[in-house]
Structure 1
Amino acid sequence: MTTVNKIKNALLLTTITTLAGCTTIADMSGYDTATLNTDAAKSYSQVISQANSQGAVDNTSNTAVRVKRVFNRIKPYAVRANTTGVPFDWQITVIRSPELNAWAMPGGKMAFYTGIVEQLKLTDAEIAAIMGHEMTHALSEHGKKDAGQKILTGLAVQLGGAQLQAKTGLNDDALGLISDLGIDKPFSRSQESEADAGGLRLMAQAGYNPEAAVLVWKKMEAANGRSNTMATLMSTHPNSGQRIAKIQALLPTVMPIYQAAAKADTNSTNGVTTRTIKRR
């Protein structure tokens, strides 16, 4: 085993032994759920205010109408899925920008960029796949866990850094790269996988076909061309091929949820139609 691998494994071992405590560490350090949600709401207000001043907030286009329709359809299921103990004030803003992006802050403050819908020609179900994914990031408190993880990682490197440097001669940049590749990136990739799984369930509950999630990432792969090994290593997002394979493996567990929701929606629609005819 090389010296670099030994250092990497030592850092991993140090962090793994305390990783389960990331949320607790965040709470103790002032990053509790209520505080994070409040701070995120303030930041969100500033971001949207700036976008407004630049004329970038889109409330009227067909894209904006579609995104908000999908949001309102999924939102009740996101509310039910909240196990944080703190109610979320879910909001979404559509931002007119060519950027392929969407995000959710702690507490349910969201943004969807017109570029990701229009450039990828997303269907409503594909919008729902991205929407559910981002909602799950917020519901799973990934921002809070990241805060706790960074504290733990910083402590591990700080406590062990001097000894590691003395024994190996590696500088701070090298140690930082080891920490990043060995701890931060894999943890972030696991969050992405968790968000994919939660997003599939949310979209299925709302009556959107989860198979659309596969199509989203095929479109993203074509747009970004980021499926090589180095891109996977350096990115917080899983390789598109790996991501698609994991989503496909999850489909058998969420398709029955979608089918039940679609059936209920059909029955409800038929019931409304029948009553309308009778009144006539």
Structure 2
Amino acid sequence: MKPPYLKSLLAACLSLTMGVAVPVLAQDNAPHEGVSVGSMSIMRKFAPTGALETQAAAQYAQTLQQAQQQRALGPDDHPQVIRLRGIAKKLIPFALPWNERAKDWKWEVNLLGSKQINAYCMPGGKIAFYSGILDILKLTDDEVAIVMGHEIAHALREHGAERAGKAAVANFGVKLAEIFAAAKGYDPSIAGSVAGGVANVSMLKFSRDDETEADVVGLEIAARAGYDPRAGVALWQKMGMVNKNAPPQWLSTHPAGKTRIDEIRRHFPEVMPLYARAKSLPLDRIPAYQTNVKGIAPISYP
């Protein structure tokens, strides 16, 4: 799920990639227990983080202003706004260890009236939920926490800056292919088209990797805050019920539902003990998770 704020940064990022060798890993700010997702990509360094957060905040403010004008912005006393902000208040303290900048973010949570099944967290902690994702999926608090944790994880792991940097490098690679083809006497436009197609498919894979990482980090944040990680399975089962015409996984920026559920289940051994601790219960005393939609069976662990 993506906020629409990256396009204007790509041109600036391109100028930063000229002649730069790209290391694979950057500093890892993850906590010592729980899930392990490795270090953040150095590619995010190709987009100036401060500028990205400033631009995200400006666009977020503009989105809220437009929603206000259209009477689509949830008021502070709206039950769903109160609910969302209450869940965020529990999640945010457990999000801070993942990114040292997060403690200085001006976190916001707002509700936008729309039938879209969407939510996002912009760089700098600007969170928006669309009413459609709450109403159509009938999200429980645990499921809201899974969605919110996932979106917060995108911001914490600086995936917006990472994608901008990767896109800049991909564009640079296309230009190099065109120059090389011209030097060899081939049509540079054909070479550019081939290289561009490869780059586009690669960028889809990069985005799927980011989505998986956000799922995993979000699970831990939710678990530490006392929300059931098994709600992630129910969430994607619900999503599958309303999203039957999704594109094939390899042509999508999001992993397929079954892939996502399998990955979430794979991390239960890491996050369920954190959830049990948050609930002050032995792990074997935690009841199965039961969502509120018929047709979804209780989800147990182990």
Scaled to the shorter chain, the TM-score interval is 0.7 to 0.9
> 2:241 pairs with 219, 222, 237, which one?
222
Match of 2:286 in 1: none
One-letter amino acid matched to 2:169: L
Distance 1:36 1:252, change over 3 A: same
SS of residue paired to 1:238: coil
Matched ranges for 1:59-208 at <5 A = 59=75, 60-84=77-101, 87-164=104-181, 166=186, 170=190, 172-181=192-201, 183-208=202-227
1:198-251, Cα deviation, whole Å (9 max, x unpaired): 000000011000000111011111111146xx5212110001110100000001
One-letter amino acid matched to 1:44: Y
Comparing 254-263 with 71-80, which one deviates more in the overlay? 71-80
Q: Deviation of residue 77 (structure 1)? A: 1.4
TM-score relative to the length of structure 2: 0.74
1:71-94, Cα deviation, whole Å (9 max, x unpaired): 111122123332347722111111
1:58 maps onto 2:58 in alignment: no
SS of residue paired to 1:20: coil
Structure 2 stretches lacking a partner, 5+ long: 1-20, 27-40, 282-302
Q: Is the 8 A contact 1:200 1:254 kept in 2?
A: yes
Q: Distance in 2 between matches of 1:173 and 1:103?
A: 32
One-letter amino acid matched to 1:220: M
Q: Is the 8 A contact 1:101 1:113 kept in 2?
A: yes
Distance 1:96 1:171, change over 3 A: same
TM-score relative to the length of structure 1: 0.80
Q: Is the 8 A contact 1:19 1:149 kept in 2?
A: no
Structure 1 stretches lacking a partner, 5+ long: 1-16, 265-280
1:20 maps onto 2:12 in alignment: no
Match of 2:296 in 1: none
Q: Is the 8 A contact 2:222 2:229 kept in 1?
A: yes
Q: Distance in 2 between matches of 1:258 and 1:224?
A: 29
SS of residue paired to 1:128: helix
Match of 2:291 in 1: none
SS of residue paired to 1:94: strand
Q: Distance in 1 between matches of 2:195 and 2:103?
A: 38
Q: Distance in 2 between matches of 1:257 and 1:25?
A: 31
Match of 1:275 in 2: none
SS of residue paired to 1:256: helix
| Structure richer in helix, relative to its length | 1
Aligned residues: 243
> 2:54 pairs with 14, 20, 38, which one?
38
Q: Deviation of residue 19 (structure 1)? A: 6.2
1:20-53, Cα deviation, whole Å (9 max, x unpaired): 27965654x5x32222111111111111111111
**Superposed structure 1 runs of 4+ greater than 6 Å apart:** none
Q: Is the 8 A contact 1:226 1:239 kept in 2?
A: no
Over the residues paired in the alignment, what is the CA RMSD in angstroms? 2.3
Q: Is the 8 A contact 1:204 1:258 kept in 2?
A: yes
Match of 2:8 in 1: none
SS of residue paired to 1:263: coil
One-letter amino acid matched to 2:279: A
